[in-house]
């Protein structure tokens, strides 16, 4: 380790993943700390650094939730802090705090060929925007915009756009969910809890009593073809993700490609490549010829947020 090492951290509701990065190369000295073991972010960072024998001058942290100013209140964690105060307490010259999905988006240009799998046809066009979606516990959405100084990742709340049905069956699902939710967003359906919503609603529409299943159990049953409701739920999930991805591509002109990140899709990647995702992505009527050449990828790198944080901390202040 050298004085050039910078500190990065991806902070979730349960764990904080710390690492160091140099001026180039991958992150190293990774360590995961339980957030509940530390009263503050500063204490967690100090505990990590104490075991590394290095005092970084620069750092970049990613966390769930919006970053709109100096004061941060985390959604699923009782940590509230001032970015300026944490920077000073850790003796840093610079501390960047960004949304966790913004970090994922910034990691997309850093992916190698082995870190992604293409779904369908298409070739990226250099110099054009890139779309990024990430179904996980919610639905993250971002866009990478090229510029003279490199890529800019847009921090959006695009997962909360209104979900649009394509088939009569999807219309029935949305109509039923509107009895529970005032606004049926894409995130109500295209994420882990969304898959559960799909399963429960499809079972109800078929006159069945849904079992209390997790998203992982639903996908496992679907892949094993053991439960027709689970099969339909997973198929609809993939198709709806294609709808949302196609809408994003049209909205930002994503001729540079659309990337699907998050931990869900890699669990059933083979099935996903044969799902209705790509068909639904391109089927936008008269815009089919625009969408057809746009490539779509699944990110398989285990920690793309670390790639993005490394890129962020290496940028000139």
Q: Is 9 annotated as a binding residue?
A: yes
Does the annotation list 12 as a binding residue?
yes
Residue 252 annotated as lining a ligand binding site? no
168 known member of a binding site: no
Strands 139-147 and 71-73: unpaired
Cα–Cα dist 301/261, whole Å: 9
- List 139's β-bridge partners, or say none: 135
Measured at the CA of 152, the angle between CA 149 and CA 156, to 5 degrees, comes to: 165
CA 298 to CA 15: how far, in whole Å? 25
Which of the 8 DSSP states describes residue 37?
G
Which residue, among 70, 77, 88, 72, has the nearest Cα to 38 in the 3D structure? 77
Query: Is 300 within any annotated ligand binding site?
Result: no
Task: Tell me the chain's radius of gyration from C-alpha atoms.
Answer: 21
User: Going by DSSP bridges, is the β-strand pair 71-73/80-82 parallel, antiparallel, or unpaired?
Assistant: antiparallel
3 state DSSP class of 160: helix
Would you list which residues are annotated within the binding site?
Answer: 9-14
Would you list which residues are annotated within the binding site for ATP?
Answer: 9-14
């Amino acid at each position: 380790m050298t004085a050039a090492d910078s500190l990065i951290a991806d902070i979730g509701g349960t764990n904080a993943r710390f690492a160091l990065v140099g001026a180039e190369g991958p992150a190293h000295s990774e360590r995961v700390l339980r957030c509940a073991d530390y009263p503050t972010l500063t204490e967690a960072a100090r505990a990590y650094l104490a075991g590394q024998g290095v005092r970084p001058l620069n750092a970049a942290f990613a966390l769930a939730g919006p970053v709109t100013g100096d004061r941060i209140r985390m959604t699923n964690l009782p940590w509230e802090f001032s970015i300026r105060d944490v920077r000073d307490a850790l003796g840093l010259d610079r501390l960047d705090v960004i949304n966790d999905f913004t970090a994922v988006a910034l990691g997309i240009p850093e992916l190698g060929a082995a870190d992604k799998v293409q779904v369908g046809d298409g070739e990226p066009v250099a110099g054009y925007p890139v779309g990024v979606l990430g179904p996980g516990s919610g639905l993250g959405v971002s866009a990478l915009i090229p510029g003279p100084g490199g890529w800019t990742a847009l921090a959006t709340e695009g997962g909360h756009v209104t979900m649009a049905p394509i088939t009569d069956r999807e219309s029935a699902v949305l109509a039923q969910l509107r009895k529970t939710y005032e606004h049926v967003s894409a995130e109500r359906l295209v994420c882990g809890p969304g898959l559960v919503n799909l399963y429960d609603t499809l079972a109800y529409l078929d006159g069945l009593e849904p079992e209390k299943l997790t998203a992982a159990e639903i996908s496992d049953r679907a892949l094993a073809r053991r439960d027709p409701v689970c099969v339909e739920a997973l198929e609809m999930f993939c198709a709806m993700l294609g709808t949302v991805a196609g809408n994003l591509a049209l909205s930002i002109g994503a001729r540079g490609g659309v990337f699907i990140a998050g931990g869900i899709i890699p669990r059933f990647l083979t099935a996903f490549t044969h799902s209705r995702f790509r068909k639904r992505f391109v089927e936008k009527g008269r815009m089919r010829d625009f969408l057809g050449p746009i490539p779509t990828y699944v990110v398989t790198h285990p920690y793309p947020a670390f790639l993005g944080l490394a890129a962020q901390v290496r940028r000139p202040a």
